[in-house]
Chains A and B, each alone.
Chain A
Amino acid sequence: GAVVSQHPSWVICKSGTSVKIECRSLDFQATTMFWYRQFPKQSLMLMATSNEGSKATYEQGVEKDKFLINHASLTLSTLTVTSAHPEDSSFYICSASRAGDQDEQFFGPGTRLTVL
């Protein structure tokens, strides 16, 4: 149990376009979902936390208008990178936690974004 999927696993896009990444909890209801990114040789850095039906809470330095997060259901959260630029190229990974157990996070396999 506690499986999280992400789609797509990799994407290449042109500068200026928008890219949407989906994160789904397959066998549990995820009241909270988290979005991280990882640049080469760095650690996973939390970008934002989203609770189902609420606006996401963004970490300091993360532009909420650039990284749009939607958590409209208990099994799906999406991250849209708007007007992507080469410096947004990174590895994006989501995680989800269950109701009543927010301290345990289950991770998706991640999405490699390359912006040309």
Chain B
Amino acid sequence: ILNVEQSPQSLHVQEGDSTNFTCSFPSSNFYALHWYRWETAKSPEALFVMTLNGDEKKKGRISATLNTKEGYSYLYIKGSQPEDSATYLCACTTSGTYKYIFGTGTRLKVLA
């Protein structure tokens, strides 16, 4: 059974701080890693899809890196804003299947 883990479970940061969290996944048969941003009562919003080892993607103040050999991805938020408050989910897919295996998410609260 594929196990995807995210840490920390939750964190509070001050507005303007930079922060990062981790998604760990089994590296065998890896195909893709997805990051989503999920605000309460809304649909999870896709942030990044990453497939290549060493890949780094950026969207505004948010960026992500991928290490498929050791099985982890980092999500970074630079200069956090209150509107960044959300749960950040990662999901992994393996070769030969389109099934997402999700982590439990990291709940971020940015304090003004």
A interface residues, Cβ below 8 angstroms from B = 3-4, 9, 32, 34, 36, 41-46, 49, 95, 97, 102-110
Contacts and interface: CB of A to CB of B under 8 A. Distances in A.
B31 to A, nearest CB: 8
A97 B31 CA distance: 17
A105 B93 CA distance: 11
A105 B100 contact: yes
Contacts of B31: 103
A109 B42 contact: yes
A16 B103 CA distance: 32
A90 to B, nearest CB: 14
B29 interface: no
B104 A107 contact: no
Interface string B14-43: 000000000000000001101010000111
A110 B89 CA distance: 15
Question: Per DSSP, are chain A's interface residues mostly helix, strand or loop, or mixed?
Answer: strand
B105 A108 contact: no
A109 B43 contact: yes
A72 to B, nearest CB: 21
Interface of B: 4, 31-32, 34, 36, 41-44, 46, 49, 89, 91, 93, 98-105
A43 B32 contact: no
B98 A46 contact: no
Contacts of B99: 46, 49
13 contacts: A42-B104, A43-B105, A44-B89, A44-B100, A46-B100, A49-B98, A103-B31, A103-B49, A106-B46, A107-B43, A108-B43, A109-B42, A109-B43
Given A44-B89, A49-B99, A104 B49 contact: yes
A102 B98 contact: yes
Contacts of A109: 41-43
Nearest to A60: B1
